[in-house]
Amino acid sequence: MNDHDQDFDRSAIAVLRGFAMDGPAKAKSGHQGTAMALSPLAHVLFSRVLRYDPTEPSWFDRDRFILSAGHASILLYGALHLAGYPITVDDLEQFRQLHSLTPGHPEVGHTPGVEVTTGPLGQGFANAVGMALAERTLRARFGPELCDHFTYVIAGDGCLEEGVSHEAASLAGRQGLGRLIAIYDDNRITIDGPTSMALIDDPAARFAAYGWHVLDLGDAGEDLDTIEEALRAAALVEDRPSILILRTHIAFPSPSLVDTKEAHGLAFGPEAIAETKALLGLPIDESFTTLPAAIEGYAAQRPGRIDAREAWEQRVAAHPNRALFEAALAGVDSAAIDAALPRFTPGESIATRNAIKTCLKATAGAIPGIITGSADLTENTGVSLDPADALSAENPGGVQLHYGVREHAMAAAMNGMALHGGIVPLGGTFFVFSDYLRPALRLAALSKAHVVYSFTHDSIGVGEDGPTHQPIEHLSSLRAMPGLELFRPADATETAYAWAEALQVDGPVALVLSRQNLPVLEGTSRDGVARGGYVISPADGARATLVATGSEVSLCLEAQRLLATEGIATQVVSMPSVGRFTRQDLAYRTSVIAPGVLSVSVEAGSTFGWGSLCDLQVGIDRFGLSAPAPAVFETLGITAHVVVDLVRQHLTEQGAR
């Protein structure tokens, strides 16, 4: 352990600390102190522990490294630069600037070497749990010759204070994720001051209670060999995740700012930078300095890293499971999904939450990387694939994951699985509880993580459970989220089409499904679902267009029938995806909702947003009621007769004018 090149180590750490001061100083924005304190740890990870190839940043069998304390992003960018990733000194000088490779917080898909988008504290920690789950599952399914790596995550005080870390750590302990290694940066400083103002947790006892292997390294933030030995010891623990508690000193080795709350942010002015650089052996009149020993030391390691990646590629090429493994990495075979989709018979009555279960079981064979699970609502949300094949420490290759009552950890772990690659995660909960996972859902959209949610019990149709369980504002709220595809299918057939679409989307998808049975309809269209909206029931000379989603489509079909008996022709539009429909060209949109013809939206939720598409709205702009579902629909005005009365009244008023 003591035969490392000390000049290499000293130079690399000094360079990283110089970057940590210079980047934020030039940007006049950023976080210097944490990056400085963690520079020795980052150097140990990137020079002694992590397996990666900077010439192929997306090599599948690389170790995954996540900086959950994403505010210290300058540390990661500096380490990636030294390690040989395509991040230059010029990129570091553009820290936090428009369109640079070095944004304020790490963004996956934007900067080579960044595995997940971090910043909201605790999310990266939970993402790491998902990545470790993905690695273990694929290793169990395809063998260690194809998948055999570790997941490392650095978490700070804020990460461990946020509730999502509690959920995720508990899940990881139950799953026995032996290749998950967390390092807790115990610097005891937050923005407001010492952590002791708000935190008295014993992290060692806490994680031991979760079932983790705990190594308390004490005040070893500058001891490279102790850090390396602990990381290697943790890597030998196969039956449970490990956490290393590392006491560091924010802003070390600054003579004036160590262990101060000011060092959490932009504390280092020219004088503080100069005095610290003098201690580090860096030129005090130069910014973004690189030292030859640091550059050469990392460059010397590169051939071995390339060799390791090429050896893996050769194993894959010769492996008998190669085709299935590569199919998992590819995601899904759209043609195979289409061929396997179930068919439903008009006239049947099926809740769309049950239809998704049928679709999942019919198509699972075409999704070799599927993992499905729920927040303790497996049967209720239709995400039951094979209850006997539960994914666990005892059965690491299983397909059915029990997240427990942990919506937030479920969604954040799903992001980690999807971004790891080789896994298509499907997670279920009641639609109203999308509130509990919204931060991770937003990051899925920002990251383009291909995760699929089965959000069931989609409306006041929940009935007796009452307003706490009846979503009202959720549809309009989630439709406002960029990058999220949301489908609320009208029946089982539209559910099948939406499921097929969901498997092809480059990003997160929410399937919003009914608790109650809905009739299987005539006139459903695969192309119409793909476009987001279509005429499901046309009428010659239509005087009004009724536009609905989900269970309200059949309600509008009943209203159409009632209006026809009065000599009023209407057409009905099913719009399972408002977002997709609004992205269609003008000619298509006007062919579905004709200008100059009265249009009425009907949805058992907030009317917010519908005014941009339709003249009139039937909806619910209040919270729900506890009663049997038919009574709630009747009382809140979501009925065919309400629609009929509104159309009749408006057409009469138009005629009078």
Q: What tens digit of pLDDT does each residue of 236-282 get?
A: 999 999 999 999 999 999 999 999 999 999 999 999 999 999 999 99
Q: In this structure, are residues 24 and 31 in contact, taking their beta carbons and an 8 Å threshold? A: yes
Among the listed residues 407, 485, 494, 501, the single catalytic one is: 407
pTM of the model: 0.98
Cα(599)–Cα(584) distance, integer angstroms:
18
Backbone angles phi, psi at 158, to 5 degrees: -60, -40
SS3 412: helix
For the chain, give the longest Cα–Cα distance.
94
Query: So what's the pLDDT on residue 17?
Result: 98
Q: Give residue-wise pLDDT tens across range 378-425.
A: 999 999 999 999 999 999 999 999 999 999 999 999 999 999 999 999
Q: Which of 425, 395, 405, 422 is nearest to 413 (CA)?
A: 425
Q: In this structure, are residues 470 and 462 in contact, taking their beta carbons and an 8 Å threshold? A: yes
> Who's near 285: CB < 8 A, 6+ residues apart?
none
Q: Per-residue confidence at 654, pLDDT binned at 50, 70, 90? A: confident
* Tokens (6 digits) for 20: 């940590």
The answer to whether residue 407 is catalytic is yes
Q: Give residue-wise pLDDT tens across range 335-360.
A: 999 999 999 999 999 999 999 999 99
Q: Name all contacts of 398-403 with Cβ < 8 Å and 24+ positions apart.
A: 398/137, 399/364, 399/370, 399/371, 399/372, 400/372, 400/373, 401/133, 401/371, 401/372, 401/373, 402/373, 402/374, 402/376, 402/378, 403/171, 403/373, 403/374, 403/375, 403/376, 403/427
Q: Give residue-wise pLDDT tens across range 53-106.
A: 999 999 999 999 999 999 999 999 999 999 999 999 999 999 999 999 999 999
SS3 549: coil
Q: In this structure, are residues 59 and 308 in contact, taking their beta carbons and an 8 Å threshold? A: no
Q: Give residue-wise pLDDT tens across range 30-57.
A: 999 999 999 999 999 999 999 999 999 9
Query: So what's the pLDDT on residue 1?
Result: 41
Q: Per-residue confidence at 587, pLDDT binned at 50, 70, 90? A: very high
For strands 570-574 and 534-537, give the pairing.
antiparallel
Beta strands in 289-361 (DSSP E): 349-351
SS3 454: strand
Under DSSP, the state recorded for 98 is T
Cross-strand bridge partners of residue 453: 427, 510
Q: 3-class secondary structure for 225-260? A: HHHHHHHHHHHCCCCCCEEEEEECCCCCCCCCCCCC
Q: Give residue-wise pLDDT tens across range 595-632.
A: 999 999 999 999 999 999 999 999 999 999 999 999 99
Cα(88)–Cα(596) distance, integer angstroms:
57
Q: In this structure, are residues 350 and 490 in contact, taking their beta carbons and an 8 Å threshold? A: no
Backbone angles phi, psi at 336, to 5 degrees: -65, -35
SS3 22: helix
Query: So what's the pLDDT on residue 655?
Result: 81
All domains of the chain in start order, with CATH: 6-309 (3.40.50.970), 334-519 (3.40.50.970), 529-656 (3.40.50.920)
Cα(152)–Cα(246) distance, integer angstroms:
14
In this predicted structure, the answer to whether residue 5 has a pLDDT above a threshold of 80 is yes
Q: In this structure, are residues 173 and 130 in contact, taking their beta carbons and an 8 Å threshold? A: no
Cα(137)–Cα(235) distance, integer angstroms:
18
Backbone angles phi, psi at 369, to 5 degrees: -105, 20
Cα(530)–Cα(420) distance, integer angstroms:
27
How much of the chain exceeds pLDDT 70, in percent?
A: 100
The alpha carbon of 542 is separated from its chain's Cα centroid by a whole number of angstroms, namely 44
Q: Per-residue confidence at 2, pLDDT binned at 50, 70, 90? A: low
Q: Which H or E element spans position 184?
A: strand 180-186
For residue 524, give Cα distances in angstroms to 552, 564, 571: 14, 21, 14
Cα(261)–Cα(265) distance, integer angstroms:
8
Classify burial at 388, counting beta carbons within 10 Å of its beta carbon; exposed 0-12, middle 13-18, buried 19 or more.
Answer: exposed
Cross-strand bridge partners of residue 487: 511
Query: So what's the pLDDT on residue 150?
Result: 99
Q: Which H or E element spans position 570?
A: strand 570-574
Query: So what's the pLDDT on residue 657?
Result: 67
Cα(491)–Cα(518) distance, integer angstroms:
6
Cis peptide before 253 (omega within 30 of 0): yes
Cα(633)–Cα(629) distance, integer angstroms:
6
Length of the chain: 657
> Who's near 218: CB < 8 A, 6+ residues apart?
247
